[in-house]
Amino acid sequence: MKYGQDDLSNLYTTGDVTVTAVSELAAFLLLIAGLSVCTMERFRSCSGRARALRYYRQREKSDGLRRTASWLRARALRYYRQRERSDGSRRTASWLSPRALRYHKQREKPDGLCRTASWLRIAVVAAAPILMCVPSLASEIALQHGPGGAASLVNTSVDHPVVLLSYSVTRGEGGVELLPEGWDSFQQQEELFYETSATAELLSEAAIADGLLFGPGQSRSIGIPFLLRSDADGDGRINLVDFAIWKSHRKQTLTGPAFGDFNYSGVVDFEDFHILVQEMGNSAAYAFEAATAVPESCALETFGIGLAILFDRRRSRSRKRED
């Protein structure tokens, strides 16, 4: 069956099917329309795939950037934490360094003081026996007054004995005269001493051999070397205190200047008062000098103690170093 090419309206129907005759131009246009539709669909599909690819690539990039940023943030966080620690340690070190410096300086000072003290101890221990065996420049023997112008020599040290080598009593300006006849020297007491001077201005004597040993606090009388008969309280001065003592014992049977009996008559009477009036205002002005030494046994003991201290100190130091 043949169709007309130019007659587009030449249609006929066979049963349920309708057939329409189409010209070549219309077919070409339909072909172009179909191709364009296919091209458009393909382009759409290609552009969709490209856009999806670009999307996933951009997402990958963003994910990479996120991972990089998180990694950088972690590194930055660790860096800042480490920096904070280092800054804290620097601040701690800067705070500790002055304290350590002060500590070492303060430690150096006591170490230097300890070394100086140890050298001083060594010098003292070495020089102590020599100084103790020679006459002492600062005498430990003193002159002590008693009632009625009496006097005695006393060892002022209560810890160790002392040896008296020599002594002298020199009258001072304004003082009462010395009494050689009342002076009871150690020579007269049959000690190994000899009198070097016995005048109203000077009383002195010296040891012949090793001297006279005085125990700790021991005193020995040298008689009545001062013209102070009415000195009742034994302070070396005649004043109202002595008058009060005489008055309190007046008309009593007592013997000795300590009770107001200045003439040793055994009775405190007006004769004693007459002596008191004559001597009122007098005093003992004098200069006392004594040469002393420490006994040899004491010097040896001191030397031994000093050596023991030094050896003990050295042992303690060696133990500390071993520890």
Q: Is the pLDDT of residue 150 over 90?
A: yes
Q: Which residue has the higher pLDDT, 169 or 53?
A: 169
Q: Is position 111 within any domain?
A: no
Phi (first) and psi of residue 173, to 5 degrees: -70, 130
Is pLDDT at 100 greater than 90 in this prediction?
A: no
Distance CA 260, CA 239 (A): 13
Rounded mean pLDDT, 76-98:
69
DSSP per position, 30-71? HHHHHHHHHHHHHHHHHHHHHHHHHHHHHHHHHHHHHHHHHH
Q: What does the pLDDT average to over 46-60?
A: 74
Q: Looking at the DSSP assignment, which residues form a beta bridge with residue 291? A: 166
pLDDT confidence tier of residue 109, bands split at 50, 70 and 90? low
Would 322 be classed as within a structural domain? Answer: no
* CATH code for the domain of 251: 1.10.1330.10
Count of domains for the chain: 1
- State which residues form the domain around 170: 141-293
Residue 248 lies in a domain: yes
Which pLDDT score is estimated for 105? Answer: 64
**Candidate from 88-97, 157-166, 286-295, 311-320 with smallest mean pLDDT:** 311-320
Percent of the chain with pLDDT over 70: 63
Least confident interval from 8-17, 203-212, 302-311: 8-17
The answer to whether residue 320 is domain-embedded is no
Rounded to the nearest integer, the mean pLDDT of the chain is 76
Cα distances (Å, whole numbers) of residue 113 to 109, 110, 321: 6, 5, 19
Lowest mean pLDDT among 88-102, 128-142, 183-197, 200-214: 128-142
Is 57 contained in some domain? no
Q: Looking at residues 287-315, what average pLDDT do you find?
A: 64
Residue 29 lies in a domain: no
Q: Is 125 exposed, middle or buried (0-12, 13-18, 19+ CB in 10 A)?
A: middle
- pLDDT for residue 51: 75
Say if 222 falls within a structural domain.
yes
Q: Which residues pair with 167 in a beta bridge?
A: 205, 290
Confidence of residue 7 (pLDDT cuts 50, 70, 90): very low
34-38, 41-45, 252-256: which has the minimum mean pLDDT? 41-45
Mean pLDDT, rounded, for 293-299: 64
Report the pLDDT value the prediction gives residue 1, as an integer from 0 to 100.
43
Q: Residues 86-102: what's their mean pLDDT?
A: 63
What is the value of pTM for the model shown?
0.51
240-283 pLDDT, tens digit per residue, is: 999 999 999 999 999 999 999 999 999 999 999 999 999 999 99
57-81 confidence digits (pLDDT tens): 777 777 777 777 777 777 777 887 7
Share of the chain above pLDDT 90, in %: 41
Residue 153 forms part of a structural domain = yes
Which of 297 and 253 is assigned the larger pLDDT?
253
